[in-house]
Amino acid sequence: MNLILVTFIILLAFTSYYFGRKKALVIQSSQRLTALPKFYGYYLAAWCAAPALIIFALWSVFEPSIVKTFILQDYTDQNLTKNELQLIYTKVKALAAGTYTGNITNFLDESANKYIQLKGIANSAKVAIILAILIFSLSFAYRSVQKNDRMREPVEIFLKWVLFVASLGAVLVTIGIVFSLLFEAIRFFQAVKIFDFIFGTHWYPAKTFVRDGQPDPELMKDAFGAVPLFAGTFFIAFIAMCVAIPIGLLSGIYLSEYAGRGIRKYAKPIIEILAGIPTVVYGFFAALTVGPFVKEIGNAMGLEVSAESALAAGAVMGVMIIPFISSLSDDVMTAVPQNLRDGSYAMGATKSETVKKVIFPAALPGIVGSILLAVSRAVGETMIVVMASGLAANLTMNPLESTSTITAQIVVILIGDQQFGDPKTQSAFALGISLFIVTLLLNVIALSVVKKYREKYE
Amino acid sequence: MNSFKKNLLKKRYNAERRFQWYGKIAIGLALSFLAVFMFQIFSKGYSAFQKTWIVTEVHYDKELLLIDAESPSKDDLENADYYDVAYKAMTSLDPGLPEEEDRQLIQMVSYKYEAEVKDLLLKNPDYLGKIVPIKLTASDDVDQVHKGNYPRDIPEENRRVNDYQLQIYDMLNERGDILSEFNISFFTSPDSREAELAGIASSFMGTVFSILVCLAFSFPVAVLAAIYLEEFAPKNKFTDFIEVNINNLAAVPSIVFGLLGLGVLLAVFNLPRSTPLVGGITLSLMTLPTIIIAARASLKAVPPSIREAALAMGASNMQTTMHHTVPLSMPGTLSGTIIGLAQALGETAPLILIGMVAFVNTIPGTPVDPAASLPVQIYIWSESAERGFVEKVSACIMVLLAFLILMNLAAQIVRHKFEKKWS
């Protein structure tokens, strides 16, 4: 139904484009055109499609919730909770669609009939309104075409609006992220005190699971302490940086200061391949090769090593991050003006002394920025940790034991079927918003540092 | 020059040399990580492209098939009972085996062997009543033994293939009745719980659909947004805000987009779970900033002289942009888009959150059918305990990497072939 309507609108818009252009050619025989003939077509087509499609979109967004309120009106006197109402509504919908398999009460049947009736009314109303709008806006547009008004300006203004709305898309995504996270997180913090979440040291959401009814508030208090996850996240990121910073920085220095053009041309893109490999592939590699390898070495040295150690996950993550640091630091060091180098050489410094005492300090802000970006990347990395470092949230600083991270826990909680309204599910969103805030802060700082640095030398 | 100075100079030169070596070692390490990594994947995965068959003989006995008709129709063959025929085909490998032990022989082929016996007859109806050779898919354990991936020297109770089965395997192998052929079914079959039957067709189609949906949603919006920001936006607080927004969005961890997909697309808009449609939309939100940034950069690279020339000829701003600037910027935009899509292709976490990890053993035909995607398939298989899946994962990784390499090559070609050099 909706598809037919949209296709109809679009087809009508195309027809009106050709119609408008033809009309312009007719006008041309008696008076001077105000714009190229195709703009007459665009003008008609825009007036035809835009209002109708906007109304259609708004209608589609609001119709379900309006129908829902009408249906649930009959249940207001029963003192039901929100979840129960939602359940009833789902049942009604399923019954109306003929896919309901539970037992059918009279009340439910009545509601389903009402639902079908409402849907029918809504559908015919929608078609009627959209047809009316089409007729109205087309006749309006046709009048101005007939009057031979200016045609190009309105079309261009319309296009500009389209462009503007598209650029709002990115903002809309951000708003969507913030709201969807906040909405669930706030409900989570109604059940669990924010203090318990941020400072609690015990993360074990599975134990709050109760088949029916509400979980024990005492249990809730002790199950959602996120400290082990924050610690684990930064610990694994720290291990990753221990691998990535020395290798990445030294490669960056070598590429920018020592390597000939030939090496640079090939080595840089090859190293960058490391960043292009999907993280799930790293995860598999870490779990299957690096983890057992670390364990074997540890056992040979007489240490007790978990097969899913933080070390393995962190090290592999570090390898993944190398190119972020090497390429960015290479770029910032290449951007350091040549006269700084020449000055240093003129004073008799060797190349390495120049790098250490002149170029590195000059490029430091940019390098710090690149490291911060790399940290934010490591903090947000998911699959490596899910696959290579255990899923139990231990509060430990031993790299040979397994730890878990914010991202890994989100996956653990939400994999499989989720039940909205369950504190366990909501806790994932609370974790998500803390992750979002941390990475956002890191990025803002990193970008401002890099920006400041760039201004210095431009 | 006194000796002190000489020593100092020597020291400084040594330091210089050492420092150079650090750099070389660092690059060497980075490159060797890549090499080890690739070697591991290839050495583990190449064997998945071979499939092991066990050749035996099957007697399409009418009595055992329970076919009464003189000249049976297609339907009769379709509805016949193949259990006994298939069972006999396997047990005939070792007629001396007592009946209660026959599970051991049956376990050497995949559990779908009965269907394979049936398919052969349906394809060649004239085999009815004859004894013909047939090849049956070997079970993943036999498959792994044949590929040499399974240690034979560990104690029997720890082995999934027992001594008797090994003996039969050796006998068959000597007779040349174990075949190794190119594994077509890896590319044409959907996922399965059994390693020897599992293929990537379902997840491959899931990936293709997700990427197409992602492209359909992100490309138009991103290009329009980039045009506005680069060519029309007034310089004010609001456009600054949009810019900052886009830059930050590009660095948001992918899993947060998964939460967005879960919390908004599934919970609010009630789109179907586990489908490439939702996956593609979620990924498109992720690639949006990447494409916007690439498109803006390539719009910026179009020299102002082009715009000035167009404006001087009397074109309006919109005409200048749409007729000259945007077409000239397209190669850069397209290559940025392909790179953005390649990133989206490798994403796993957001797809897991919107339920694309469900076990799907049908090949999806539309974007609203439940499906997995290649990276998710890697995750699912790597969580399976069976040995046969290790090589499948590696092979799947090889397919994914090949896909990524192709996309990046395409991006390079688009950029170098079609981009105008302004200088």
Task: Please write the tens of the pLDDT for every residue from B330-365.
Answer: 999 999 999 999 999 999 999 999 888 878 888 888
Write the residue in B30, B289, B347 that is nearest to A170 by C-beta.
B289
Write the residue in B23, B247, B347 that is nearest to A251 by C-beta.
B23
What pLDDT does A142 receive? 86
User: Does residue A205 register a pLDDT over 80?
Assistant: no
Q: Taking CB atoms and an 8 Å cutoff, what residues of chain A touch B376?
A: 280
CA distance B403 to chain A (A): 11
Given 3.40.50.740, 1.20.1600.10, 1.10.3720.10, 3.30.450.40, which CATH number is that of A221-457? 1.10.3720.10
Local confidence band at B406 (pLDDT 50, 70, 90 cut-offs): very high
Task: Please write the tens of the pLDDT for every residue from A158-197.
Answer: 999 999 999 888 888 888 888 888 988 898 888 888 888 8
Task: Please write the tens of the pLDDT for every residue from B133-152.
Answer: 888 888 888 888 888 877 77
Residue among B252, B296, B389 with most chain A CBs within 10 A, to mutate = B252
Considering only residues 439 to 458 of chain A, which have any Cβ-Cβ distance to chain B shorter than 8 Å? 439-440, 443-444, 447
User: Does residue B185 register a pLDDT over 80?
Assistant: yes
Chain B within 8 Å of A273 (Cβ-Cβ)? yes
Asked whether the beta carbons of residue A326 and residue B400 sit closer than 8 angstroms, the reply is no
What pLDDT does B318 receive? 92
Write the residue in A248, A326, A350 that is nearest to B12 by C-beta.
A350
Q: Taking CB atoms and an 8 Å cutoff, what residues of chain A touch B351?
A: none
A244, two tokens: 């990535």
User: Does residue A456 register a pLDDT over 90?
Assistant: no
Q: What angle do CA A173, B400, A278 make, to 5 degrees?
A: 50
CA distance B323 to chain A (A): 13
User: Does residue B248 register a pLDDT over 80?
Assistant: yes
Asked whether the beta carbons of residue B255 and residue A407 sit closer than 8 angstroms, the reply is yes
Local confidence band at A209 (pLDDT 50, 70, 90 cut-offs): low
What pLDDT does A457 receive? 62
CA distance A415 to chain B (A): 6
Chain A within 8 Å of B252 (Cβ-Cβ)? yes
Contacts by B320-328, CB closer than 8 A, 24 or more apart: B321/B227, B321/B231, B321/B232, B325/B231, B325/B299, B326/B223, B326/B227, B326/B299, B328/B302, B328/B420
What pLDDT does B23 receive? 93
Chain B within 8 Å of A379 (Cβ-Cβ)? yes
User: Does residue A448 register a pLDDT over 60?
Assistant: yes
CATH topology of domain B201-418: MetI-like fold (1.10.3720)
B59, two tokens: 């007697």
Task: Please write the tens of the pLDDT for every residue from B34-52.
Answer: 999 999 888 888 888 888 8
Chain A within 8 Å of B315 (Cβ-Cβ)? no
What pLDDT does A349 receive? 92
Chain A within 8 Å of B221 (Cβ-Cβ)? yes
* DSSP β-bridge partners for residue A224: A203
d(CA A388, CA A286): 6
CA distance B103 to chain A (A): 32
Q: Taking CB atoms and an 8 Å cutoff, what residues of chain A touch B252?
A: 177, 380, 436, 439-440
Question: Which chain B residue shows the shortest CA-CA distance from A177?
Answer: B260
B262, two tokens: 């879960």
CA distance A123 to chain B (A): 18
Task: Please write the tens of the pLDDT for every residue from B150-164.
Answer: 777 788 777 778 888
**Which of A126-135, A363-372, A388-397 has the least mean pLDDT?**
A388-397
Local confidence band at A417 (pLDDT 50, 70, 90 cut-offs): low
What pLDDT does A378 receive? 93
Task: Please write the tens of the pLDDT for every residue from A57-109.
Answer: 888 888 888 888 888 777 777 777 777 777 777 778 778 777 777 777 777 78
Q: Taking CB atoms and an 8 Å cutoff, what residues of chain B touch A321?
A: none
Write the residue in B256, B288, B317 that is nearest to A432 by C-beta.
B256
Local confidence band at B376 (pLDDT 50, 70, 90 cut-offs): very high
Mean pLDDT score of chain A: 85
Task: Please write the tens of the pLDDT for every residue from A346-390.
Answer: 999 999 999 999 999 888 888 998 899 899 999 999 999 999 887
Chain A within 8 Å of B40 (Cβ-Cβ)? yes
What pLDDT does A218 receive? 65
Q: Taking CB atoms and an 8 Å cutoff, what residues of chain B touch A280?
A: 346, 348, 375-376, 378-379
User: Does residue B328 register a pLDDT over 70?
Assistant: yes
Give the mean pLDDT of B291-304: 92
Chain B within 8 Å of A172 (Cβ-Cβ)? no
User: Which part of chain B has CATH 1.10.3720.10?
Assistant: 201-418
Chain A within 8 Å of B131 (Cβ-Cβ)? no
Domain boundaries, chain A: 2-148, 221-457
Write the residue in B20, B253, B378 that is nearest to A439 by C-beta.
B253
Pairing of strands B131-137, B178-182: unpaired
Considering only residues 399 to 418 of chain B, which have any Cβ-Cβ distance to chain A shorter than 8 Å? 400-401, 404, 408
Residue among A168, A256, A284, A411 with most chain B CBs within 10 A, to mutate = A284
Residue-wise DSSP of B385-423 = --THHHHHHHHHHHHHHHHHHHHHHHHHHHHHHHPPPP-
What pLDDT does A92 receive? 80
Query: Does residue A393 or residue B28 have the better pLDDT?
Result: B28
Q: CB A352: neighbour CB atoms within 10 A?
A: 21
d(CA B296, CA B231): 9
First-last CA distance in chain B? 52
Local confidence band at B57 (pLDDT 50, 70, 90 cut-offs): confident
User: Does residue A317 register a pLDDT over 90?
Assistant: yes
Report CA torsion sign: A386, A390, A394, A398.
negative
Residue among B17, B44, B228 with most chain A CBs within 10 A, to mutate = B228
**Which of A353-367, B14-28, B382-396 has the least mean pLDDT?**
B382-396
B15, two tokens: 């330091």
Considering only residues 79 to 138 of chain A, which have any Cβ-Cβ distance to chain B shorter than 8 Å? none
Closest CA to A123 of A188, A77, A63: A63
Do A274 and A323 touch, CB atoms closer than 8 A? yes
Question: Which chain A residue shows the shortest CA-CA distance from B348?
Answer: A280
What pLDDT does A278 receive? 93
| pTM as predicted | 0.87
Q: From residue A241, give the alpha-carbon distance in Å to each of A254, A296, A391, A434, B25.
A: 19, 23, 21, 21, 18
CA distance B334 to chain A (A): 18
What pLDDT does A196 receive? 84
What pLDDT does B320 receive? 94
Give the mean pLDDT of A282-296: 89
What pLDDT does B109 receive? 86
Asked whether the beta carbons of residue B262 and residue A414 sit closer than 8 angstroms, the reply is yes
Local confidence band at A207 (pLDDT 50, 70, 90 cut-offs): low
Do B108 and B127 touch, CB atoms closer than 8 A? no
Asked whether the beta carbons of residue B16 and residue A287 sit closer than 8 angstroms, the reply is no
Local confidence band at A213 (pLDDT 50, 70, 90 cut-offs): low
Give the mean pLDDT of A203-212: 66
As a whole-number percent, the residues of chain B with pLDDT over 90 amount to: 38
Chain A within 8 Å of B149 (Cβ-Cβ)? no
Give the mean pLDDT of B379-396: 86
Give the mean pLDDT of A397-409: 86
Q: Taking CB atoms and an 8 Å cutoff, what residues of chain A touch B229?
A: 167
Question: Which chain A residue shows the shortest CA-CA distance from B267?
Answer: A420
Task: Please write the tens of the pLDDT for every residue from B76-129.
Answer: 777 788 888 888 888 888 877 787 777 788 888 888 888 888 888 888 888 888
Local confidence band at B388 (pLDDT 50, 70, 90 cut-offs): confident
